[in-house]
Structure formats: C-alpha cells, structure tokens
Amino acid sequence: MTAQLIDGKTIAQQVREEVAADVARRLASGKARPGLATVLVGDRVDSATYVASKQNACAELGMESFHNQLPGDTSQEEVEALVRNLNADPKVNGILVQLPLPSHLDEERVLQLINIEKDVDGFSPLNIGRLAQKGREPLFVPCTPFGCIYLLEKAGVTIEGANAVVLGRSNIVGMPAALLLIGKNATVTVCHSRTRDLPAVVRQADILIAAIGKMEFVRGDWIKPGAAVIDVGINDKPDPTKKRGYRLVGDVNFEEAVEVAGHITPVPGGVGPMTIAMLMKNTLRAAEIQAP
C-alpha cells in the first residue's frame, strides 16, 4: 500500500488565500488593517528566519507587522515593559514572542503578561488552561497543533473515537496537540523519553503525531497499516548530492512509513507551512474579536 500524501503546502496556501480575502473585506468595510507584533530577543538564526517568514506572510495577506528586535542580554523588566506597551497599542491585534527566549528570561512570566485577546500563539496560561478543560474554549489554539488537526480534517481522517498517539510533550506542539485531540474525542496516549516499548504503543495508533525532533526515528514497522501519520519534525540530514550539503527530513522514516500508512505528511511541505498559515488565521481572529 502507498499512503495518500497530505499536501500541507497547498492546504496552507488555501488558508492564506481565505485569510487574505477576509482581510480585504474588512479593509473595504472601513475597518483597520489587522496588525501582528513580533518580538525576537537575541540573534538565533533559526528564530530570526521564522520571524521573517511571519512578517512576510503578514505583508502578503494585507496585514501590518511590527517587529521588535531586542539584544540577547535584554532584562526581564525590559521584555515585560515591551509586552505591556504592545498590549496597550490599538494597532497591535496579535503579539508573538518568538520562543525559545534566552535562558536568563522567565518565559512563563512573559507569556502570562500577553493580553489573552492578543495571544495569537495560544501559549498564555489562560488559553492553555481553557484548552485543557471540558466545555471551555480557548480564544486561540497554538499554531502548529492547530495546523496538524486542520490537516487531518482536510484529509478526511476520522478523529472521534480514534486511538491517537502523540510523540513528544512539548508546550509548543505535543501537549497542546494531545489536548486538541482529546477535545475532538480521540483516545490519546502521549509518549516521551521514558515511555516503555514505544514501537508497541505506536502500533496501536490510528493517528500518529510525531514531534520529538529525532531524525527518522519512527520506523515503518511501528506504524499500524492505514494509520494517519502527521510528521512535525524538521531535521537536517547530511546529503552530499544537495548544494547546501543537507536535506530536510522528519521524525518519521518517510520511505518506510509511506508503504504502510493510509495518510502521511511529507517533510518538507507537510506541517511546516501550516504553522504560519494558522498564525495568520489567529491574527485575523484577534482583529475580529477586538474590532468585530
């Protein structure tokens, strides 16, 4: 069997076009241009690249972006003062503090300061708390897990009643992905570095979300035939045939898994493009909440 590919690139593009059309409608009706503030502390190259892509997406979709670049030795008080200013700025509908922050900063204190109505990353304790509770709705869902669920639904995968296995329990992907799946009535197992007999647990999964950051870690014979596999990993694999000397691979051994799974996301072109698309969707939603 060869799995059906879930084309994240095309689906993300559709989401972006829908958002751009809604932004254009808001502008035509005299409403303000939605605005996203990005905050980057320090000079991590990967974080700078992600933030630049987020700014470019804003420009492409007709939104404003306001970038705030702070030196790596910025104090806790300075970062908090910036977040307070952004909370008070009516042109800013969404605030995104790029993670990880340098280790001397208290990430939790920064994230909990973000006004819940501007928390387009969905990382504030209030939004995560609501995601974790039955009958409560967060205002925003974290972008990468939101993208994973969106891909499953677009591919027509049934989540309700499915056995879902999430590999990884990070605040950014694994844990919110598990909470979202529970909210959609899946039976969820969250695996991590101390899980016993991981292959046996993964073999039970009708839906597998792999977010552990280990190159091609999940083997084809761990996958239940027909399962839906969502690969969140982005790892550099040395490849001398490539000009840059490497290629991107996921946390799942794609060549093996594609022969067993029912659906699978490729890397690149699967979950990756969805994160920014969902951030744009969340930023539009923030503008709609603040100025209906």
CA 82 to chain centre: 24
Q: Does 52 bind ligand GUN (CB under 6 A)?
A: no
| AA letter at 122 | G
- Among residues 22, 98, 119, 224, the one annotated as catalytic is 98
Strand partners, 38: 67, 96
Q: How far is the CB of 73 from ligand GUN (least distance, A)?
A: 20
Give the separation between CA 224 and CA 252, rounded to whole angstroms.
13
DSSP H/E element including 62:
none
Q: How far is the CB of 23 from ligand GUN (least distance, A)?
A: 21
Signed CA dihedral, 209, 211, 213, 214: sign only: negative
Binding mask of the shown chain, residues 58 to 97, with x at each position contacting ligand GUN by CB under 6 A: --------------------------------------xx
* Shorter beta-carbon distance to ligand GUN: residue 32 or 99: 99
Is 46 marked active-site? no
Indicate which single residue of 99, 126, 182, 289 sits in contact with ligand GUN (rule: CB under 6 A). 99
* Shorter beta-carbon distance to ligand GUN: residue 6 or 36: 36
Q: Does 172 bind ligand GUN (CB under 6 A)?
A: yes
- Among residues 22, 118, 119, 121, the one annotated as catalytic is 121
Give the separation between CA 6 and CA 151, rounded to whole angstroms.
7
Give the separation between CA 246 and CA 98, rounded to whole angstroms.
25
Per-residue tokens: 225:
């035939």
Is 55 marked active-site? no
Per-residue tokens: 234:
């982005």
Give the separation between CA 48 and CA 246, rounded to whole angstroms.
20
Is 54 marked active-site? yes
* Shorter beta-carbon distance to ligand GUN: residue 123 or 222: 123
* Shorter beta-carbon distance to ligand GUN: residue 97 or 162: 97
Torsion-angle region of residue 185: left (phi > 0), alpha (psi -120 to 50) or beta? left
Per-residue tokens: 77:
């008080």
Q: How far is the CB of 47 from ligand GUN (least distance, A)?
A: 7
Instruction: Give the SS3 label for residue 40.
Output: strand
* Shorter beta-carbon distance to ligand GUN: residue 47 or 290: 47
Query: Between residue 253 and residue 292, which ones bind ligand GUN under the rule CB under 6 A?
Result: 275
Using CB atoms within 10 A of its CB, is residue 220 exposed (0-12), middle (13-18) or buried (19+)? Answer: middle
Binding mask of the shown chain, residues 121 to 160, with x at each position contacting ligand GUN by CB under 6 A: x---------------------xx----------------
Question: Which residue number has the CB closest to ligand GUN?
Answer: 99
Supply the residues annotated as catalytic: 54, 98, 121
- For ligand GUN, the binding residues (CB under 6 A) are 96-99, 121, 143-144, 172, 275
